[in-house]
């Protein structure tokens, strides 16, 4: 991951959710988590400007743990402070909590989508414009359904 840090904007393009993963057996990977979260938040946002939902994955939970991950309360506090939508202890090797983490992220993405759509529907001008476009109307020709190009 570290080698490709300068290319992250390409990876993040049009993202609506993210996982940041660290190795519970290597403290240095946890130390890099905040760098990745700050980079993500700086380069991609939802249409309303808020950060995309991001879940922290503490991978290799089937191995000996080091550092903060040994305290669930400290991990919860860390995630709140850093703006993570949640965290899971996972093991890709043993398929532990992978599906649960993915389901949680998808639920947060869908919730954001519903909130954004409901905010869009409150904007009467935007709805009117979308309605005219959907019906093939063009403001330049008084509502004719033909193209004026």
DSSP string over 92-118: TTTTBSHHHHHHHHHHHHHHHHHHHHH
pLDDT of residue 43 exceeding 50: yes
In whole angstroms, what is the distance from residue 119 CA to residue 121 CA? 5
**For the domain 2-134, what is the CATH superfamily, name and number?**
P-loop containing nucleotide triphosphate hydrolases (3.40.50.300)
pLDDT of residue 146 exceeding 70: no
What pLDDT does residue 124 have?
46
What pLDDT does residue 4 have?
60
Span 26-38, average pLDDT: 95
Q: What is the pLDDT of residues 61-81, one digit of tens each?
A: 999 998 888 899 999 999 999
Whether the CB-CB separation of 28 and 35 falls below 8 Å is answered with no
DSSP annotation of 20 reads E
Domain residue extents for the chain: 2-134
The mean predicted confidence, pLDDT, of the chain is 82
pTM, 2 dp: 0.75
What pLDDT does residue 66 have?
86
Predicted confidence band of residue 3 (pLDDT cuts 50, 70, 90): low
> Which of helix, strand or coil describes residue 65?
coil
In whole angstroms, what is the distance from residue 146 CA to residue 57 CA? 53
In whole angstroms, what is the distance from residue 108 CA to residue 80 CA? 15
Q: Which residues contact 142 (CB under 8 A, 6 or more apart)?
A: none
């Amino acid at each position: 991951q570290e080698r490709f840090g300068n290319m992250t904007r390409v990876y993040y393009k049009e993202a609506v959710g993210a996982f940041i993963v660290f190795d519970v057996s290597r403290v240095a990977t946890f130390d890099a988590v905040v760098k990745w979260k700050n980079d993500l938040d700086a380069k991609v946002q939802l249409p309303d400007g808020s950060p995309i939902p991001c879940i922290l994955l503490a991978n290799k939970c089937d191995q000996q743990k080091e550092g903060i991950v040994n305290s669930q309360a400290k991990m919860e506090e860390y995630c709140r402070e850093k703006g993570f939508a949640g965290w899971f202890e996972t093991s890709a090797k043993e398929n532990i909590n992978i599906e649960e983490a993915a389901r949680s992220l998808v639920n947060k993405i869908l919730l954001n989508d519903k909130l954004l759509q409901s905010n869009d529907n409150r904007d009467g001008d935007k709805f009117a414009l979308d309605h005219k476009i959907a019906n093939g109307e063009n403001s330049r020709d008084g509502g004719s359904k033909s193209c004026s190009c």
